[in-house]
Structure formats: structure tokens, C-alpha cells
Amino acid sequence: MRTNWAGNHAYRAARLHRPTTLDELRAVVAAAPSLRALGSRHAFTAIADAGEQVVLDGLPADVMLDGDTVSFNAGLTYGELAEHLEGRAALHNLASLPHISVAGAIGTGTHGSGTGNLATAVRALELVTSDGEVVTARRGDPDFDGMVVHLGRLGVLTRLTLDTEPPFAVAQRVFEGLSWEALSEHFDALFSAAYSVSVFTRWKDVDMVWLKGRDALPETLYDATPATVERHPIIELDPVNCTAQLGRPGPWWDRLPHFRMGFTPSHGAEVQAEYLIPREHAVAAIQALRALTLPHLLVSEIRTIAADALWMSPAYGRDSVGLHFTLERVPVDGVLRAIEAALAPFDPRPHPGKLHLKPGTYERADDFETLAARLDPRGAFVAQA
């Protein structure tokens, strides 16, 4: 039985395909009555489930740098891609874990912190539609903004071209003991204090603020104090597998994530939920969440994400704040109901690959469904679970 990363979902797919050529993949896609692509399985919902599944790790990596772009097999993980880019190019941002597949992160609008979500780096894409045809699109093409965050609904994403920039160094510093008063009063300045800013909390106190800087990091942060030892986002845990802190600079790929590439993330111990709300409501939403009692919560993370134009991105059309919840792997519907009720006045959009009860509202949702009907007229990629 195949399960997702957390073990909270068992895939019902009766068959897993691992093609080794594009032609084999096209034949698989054209023949399957119900199909989804399976990446690194770091989704906590049934978004990757269908009657059959296909993985892309049998296809060549085929990484090609060309000027300020890199193209590659979309099934690569960010860690694998970074190995190919080492010393030659960099990406603008990474998620907390480098172990996730690029296609999966792009297809669900996954983000880092501060800049636009990871999907905003997509310059061009290639996917195989349900009739086995190869469709390509480039930034600026009609419907391109609807194809990037594809939710697994449009076809199998086979190849991506991403924007790159010259390699850069990042240093990371952790501050502890920030007051809620300081966070509320200085919210915008706080989240502009570094290239990437993450606040970790269990909602009683602010446990930590992680700053990742491409330039000099601040020595002070309001009423917080600099940590004198390295920290894990869950403060009681050993930080041995976290990326280096204490202001020591390192390459972009080894500082932008919270966790190092050279270890396997723990499986089965947690599930995750996340909601993006308009940035202007951040302080009010935080106050609403602080009023809750949230059993099974391991830690929450607060981050900011720039607005984008990708139709089904949770940050579509609005600068956003991501409110993330890492929970024990137990039934958590009651916790989700409480969180969603508290956030309801702020128009939350849940991360589609993480646990949630209610979908978000998207202005271009009807346009996306029209696009999906055109690219998948036989409904092979319609969600079945």
C-alpha cells in the first residue's frame, strides 16, 4: 500500500507507472481513464490520487542552463536541481524542505517567504494532456497564468523552465522572545527586516523569529534577543538537521530552506495545514488565532508572500500572509474547524496540498475550469477521491 509522506492518506491508485521516455509517458496518459502525477508525496490531501498514478523519476533529469533560465525534468526535487545549479546559478527562493518535487510545489502554489511563491519563477512549461499530446506554454502566452498552478487537473507536467539569477550567499539568524505587542506594532517592518522572515509560535508566545538575509542581518530586533545556540522550529527538538544559523553565511540552497538537504525528513509524525489571507488583515487574524485553544499543535509559522497573477495561486491578486500549522498525526477536523472559523472574516485560501475543510475563493476559478475542460475533455484528471 502506497501512502503519502505523512502516512495519513493511503493512495487508492491500482497502478503506478514509471515511464523512461516521453513517448512511454504519452502512451500511459492517453490510455489511463483516471490519472494523477505523483511527486515526493509531501501532500496531506488526496490531490495526487486517482485510479492510476505516474512518477517521472524514470525520465532523464536533462538539466539545461541557458542564459538566465534553467530547464529540466519537472519531477526533480529542489535539492536535486540545486546540485545541478551549484556554483552556476540560483533560484529566487525555496520552500522549507528541499526534498519536495518541483512539479508538486509549482502545481500547488507552494511558497517560500517574502518574495513571490515558487511558481512565479516559471518561464515556460510542458505538459502531456489526456489525449497524449504535448502542450507547451511560455510566460505571456494566453492562459499561461492559468496553467502554472495546475492542481494536477490539466495534465502531467513534464518539463519546466525557471528564471535563475547569479549564485548568492545567505546568512541566518534567530531571535527569541519577541512580544506580541512588538509584532503587531511593527508587523510590516518586521517582515521587511530580511530577505526571508519566519515567525514560529504556539500562539501563547512568539517562540522565535528566523531571519535569512542576502545582505547584512540586523543585530537587534525590537524586544527580542538573539539566540546563542542553533534552534529547531519546534524549540524543544534537536536542530542537528536544520540549516546553519548564528549569522554564518552559506550558499542560497543551504540557507533558504529550514532543513538541510542531506537528511531524510521524518515520516508519519505530523500533518500540516496552511491558509493565506490578505496581508492587511494579518494582525487581526493573529489576534483571532491567539484566542483559540488548539490541541495537537506542534508549531505554527507565519510568513509573507508577494501577490502574483497565477489564477489558482493562493496569493493570486493580493499580498498575503501564510498561517501554517504543523499538527500531530491524529484526527484534526475539530482543530481545522476552529481555525477556519477564526479566519473566515479574512477570506482565507487554503494551501491545496495541505489539510483543510473549506476551499478558498478564486476570481479566475471559472476560467480555470474552462481551461481544464479544453485540455482534458475526457476528464482523466478530474479529482476522483
Q: How confident is the model at residue 268 (pLDDT cuts 50, 70, 90)?
A: low
**What would the pLDDT profile of 19-39 be if each residue is shown by its tens digit?**
999 999 999 999 999 999 999
**In CATH terms, is domain 64-166 a member of 3.30.465.10?**
yes
Does the pLDDT value for residue 173 go beyond 90? yes
**In CATH terms, is domain 169-350 a member of 3.30.70.60?**
no
Radius of gyration (Cα) for the chain, nearest Å?
Answer: 20
Q: Percent of the chain, pLDDT > 90?
A: 92
Residue 193, all three cell numbers = 527586516
CA distance 270 to 11: 18
Place of cell 487581526: 284
Which one, of 264, 275, 236, 243, lies nearest residue 355 by Cα? Answer: 275
> Where exactly are the structural domains of the chain?
64-166, 169-350
CA distance 91 to 106: 13
Does the pLDDT value for residue 311 go beyond 70? yes
Longest pairwise C-alpha distance within the chain: 61
Residue 345, all three cell numbers = 472574516
CA distance 240 to 247: 16
Average pLDDT estimate for 261-272: 77
Residue 334: how many other CB atoms lie within 10 Å? 11
Average pLDDT estimate for 372-377: 97
Average pLDDT estimate for 210-224: 95
pTM: predicted TM-score of the whole model, two decimal places: 0.96
Residue 265: its pLDDT value, please?
A: 67
